[in-house]
Each structure stands twice: as structure tokens, then as C-alpha cells.
């Protein structure tokens, strides 16, 4: 069938209105997709920051719990206590005395380390007759050149002490210690970090960041045997440790961004606390 004379064939292309409608629809879809992707990104970044901040709080409590649980206030392991810091004698190693030669103690290491740091000290059990531990500051250490332990094994280290420990004999257990201070300190980035410091040294970062100390970034509540605040380190029986960890960067929220905070706390019962006449939860009652 032929077209009528004088009638033009219609073009199969799009008119301008149709093109504009298509562009508008594509623009709306692109905007919606971008909004969804942006929202998903904010959610992912926020969840990652929350998980990381929770890990910071957990690690801080784990480190402090290990240190505090091994401390015995009645034995003098706590040097100083405060609401925002603690100074204590930190356990570094356990071993057995192989031989005692004046100010030198030959040891077989069981766990941890025995070093020659001038900040270290050593405790040696003096036997059931004395029922106490002899203490001396460490002056140095060296590798043994010979000798044997009572069980026939080779010693691992020779520790030289400042003052000979009277009553120390072969076969006695020995413990190594190092004095540490734990508190928050401001790092070079202006943030607050849980720091560990040797006597006379500088703070080294353990984990962080945390909220400002004035905002409760790290708090200690030391309690005596009757549940009152402990004013003296030797009277402390337990301690509540609270931390407020802060996200490493600002977390995007619906209207801007902010730092995310996680608050955790735990209660630690000191070593030998139940044997000090404490009437506290966690200690066995009278028979």
C-alpha cells in the first residue's frame, strides 16, 4: 500500500519533551541511589567505629584487671592509689632458685622474664619456717656460664641484687617485679591515652583514645574491708575500674558528625584480699 501523494513519513526519533522526561527520571534514580549508598556508608563507618571503640574499652579493662588482680595490698604491691591512677608492683616473671652466691641468684625461669633493669625487684620465698618473702632490688643480670639446678636442669639467668637476701636457698620459688604507674595522659595528637610508666620514665601508650579525665575517661574506686573508700593503699581490698573509650575519629550521623563513647566497668578483688578479714561479695563465708 503506497503513501498518499504529498504526505511525509514520520521520524522514529524522540521529541524534546520525551528526552527531558527521561533525563528527569534518570536524575531522580541517581539521586536516590546516591542517598542510599551514602546512608549505607555512614552506617558502615559508624558500626566500625563503635566496634573499635568497644574493643579499646575491653582491652583497657583487661590490662588493668590482670595487673590489679595479681597485686596484694597487704604485701605492699600497691605503692599509691588515686581516683585517676594507680602505682603498683607489676609481676614480670616466675622461676626457681638454682643457687645463691652472695648477691647473685641463679634462676631457672618458669614463666615471664627476669631482666637487669634498675627498676626491677625480686622476691624469694624464705621457706615455711619464716613464712615470708625476701625482697631485693635488681642491680643487673647475665647469662649463666655453668651450674645446674637441683632438678639437674640448666639455669636460664643470673640476677645480681643490690643486697643479698638472707635465707634464700636453692629450690625456693622466686618472682620478678617492676614498678608501673597507670593513668591517662595526653598524647602528641591531643587525645587521651591509657599510659604505662616506669619510675622516672615517660608514659608509653597502652590503648586509646579515651574521654577527658574530667569526663571520667578513667576512674578507680578503691574500697576497704568494710566497704568504705580506702584512704590507704594497704587497706584496699577491691577496686572498681571504669573507662570511657572514645572513637578514634568523628562518626558521621544524620546531621553532621560526633565522637562515639563506650563506657565499661569491672570490679577486681585483690590477691590475698579474702584472707585479710574482708566481708565482701566473692569471698567465702565462715565455715
Q: Which pLDDT value is given to residue 240? A: 95
Verify that 240 and 169 share a domain, yes or no: no
Verify that 167 and 103 share a domain, yes or no: yes
Scored b (16 or more CB within 10 A) or e, 103-135 reads ebbbbbbeeeebbeeeebbbbbbbeeeeeebbb
Contact 228, 215 (CB under 8 A): no
Separation CA 185–CA 202 (nearest Å): 10
Verify that 204 and 77 share a domain, yes or no: yes
Query: Is residue 25 in some structural domain?
Result: no
Query: Is residue 38 in some structural domain?
Result: no
Verify that 130 and 184 share a domain, yes or no: no
The number of residues in the chain equals 287
Q: If you ran DSSP here, which 8-state letter would residue 248 be given?
A: S
Query: Is residue 258 in some structural domain?
Result: yes
Cell 640448666 found at: 154
Verify that 74 and 192 share a domain, yes or no: yes
Verify that 94 and 110 share a domain, yes or no: yes
Verify that 136 and 260 share a domain, yes or no: no
Counted domains in the chain: 2
Tell me what the mean pLDDT of segment 162-167 comes to.
Answer: 86
Of 155, 190, 160, 192, nearest to 170 by C-alpha is 155
Verify that 98 and 236 share a domain, yes or no: no
Asked whether residue 83 carries a pLDDT value surpassing 90, the answer given is yes
Separation CA 77–CA 121 (nearest Å): 12
Q: Which of 15-24, 168-177, 213-222 has the lowest mean pLDDT?
A: 15-24
Asked whether residue 259 carries a pLDDT value surpassing 70, the answer given is yes
The model's pTM is 0.73
Q: How high is the mean pLDDT of the chain?
A: 82
Choice between 273 and 10, residue whose per-residue pLDDT is larger: 273
Across the strands, what pairs with 45? none
pLDDT in tens, 63-81: 999 999 988 888 888 999 9
pLDDT in tens, 229-240: 988 888 898 999
Rounded CA Rg of the chain: 33
Cα–Cα distance list, 132 to 56, 147, 160, 272, 278 (Å): 39, 27, 21, 14, 21
Verify that 195 and 80 share a domain, yes or no: yes
From its phi and psi, is residue 208 left (phi > 0), alpha (psi between -120 and 50) or beta? left
CATH number, residue 130: 2.40.30.10
Verify that 184 and 270 share a domain, yes or no: yes
pLDDT in tens, 104-158: 999 998 888 888 777 888 888 887 666 678 888 888 888 988 878 888 888 889 9
Domain that holds residue 186: 46-86+180-276
Verify that 107 and 238 share a domain, yes or no: no
Residues 6+ apart with CB under 8 A from 126: 132, 133, 134, 165, 167, 168, 172
Amino acid at each position: 500500500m503506497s503513501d498518499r501523494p504529498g504526505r511525509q513519513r514520520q521520524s522514529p526519533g524522540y521529541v524534546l519533551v520525551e528526552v527531558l522526561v527521561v533525563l528527569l527520571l534518570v536524575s531522580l534514580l541517581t539521586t536516590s541511589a546516591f542517598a542510599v549508598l551514602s546512608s549505607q556508608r555512614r552506617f558502615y563507618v559508624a558500626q566500625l567505629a563503635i566496634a573499635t571503640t568497644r574493643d579499646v574499652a575491653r582491652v583497657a579493662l583487661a590490662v588493668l584487671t590482670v595487673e590489679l588482680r595479681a597485686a596484694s595490698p597487704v604485701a605492699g604491691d600497691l605503692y599509691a592509689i588515686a581516683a585517676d591512677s594507680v602505682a603498683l608492683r607489676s609481676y614480670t616473671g616466675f622461676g626457681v632458685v638454682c643457687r645463691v652466691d652472695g648477691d647473685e641468684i641463679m634462676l631457672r625461669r618458669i614463666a615471664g622474664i627476669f631482666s637487669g633493669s634498675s627498676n626491677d625487684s625480686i622476691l624469694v620465698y624464705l621457706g615455711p619456717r619464716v613464712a615470708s618473702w625476701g625482697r631485693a632490688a635488681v642491680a643487673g643480670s647475665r647469662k649463666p656460664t655453668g651450674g645446674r639446678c637441683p632438678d639437674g636442669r640448666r639455669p636460664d639467668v643470673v640476677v645480681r641484687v643490690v643486697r643479698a637476701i638472707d635465707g634464700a636457698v636453692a629450690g625456693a620459688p622466686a618472682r620478678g617485679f617492676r614498678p608501673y604507674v597507670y593513668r591517662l595522659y595526653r598524647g602528641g595528637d591531643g587525645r587521651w591515652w591509657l599510659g604505662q610508666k616506669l619510675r622516672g620514665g615517660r608514659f608509653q601508650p597502652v590503648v586509646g583514645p579515651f574521654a577527658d579525665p574530667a569526663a571520667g575517661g578513667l576512674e578507680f574506686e578503691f574500697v576497704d574491708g568494710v566497704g568504705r573508700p580506702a584512704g590507704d593503699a594497704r587497706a584496699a581490698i577491691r577496686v572498681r575500674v571504669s573507662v570511657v573509650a572514645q572513637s578514634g575519629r568523628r562518626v558521621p550521623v544524620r546531621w553532621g558528625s560526633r565522637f562515639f563513647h563506650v563506657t565499661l566497668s569491672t570490679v577486681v578483688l585483690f590477691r590475698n584480699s579474702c584472707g585479710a578479714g574482708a566481708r565482701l561479695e566473692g569471698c567465702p563465708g565462715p565455715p
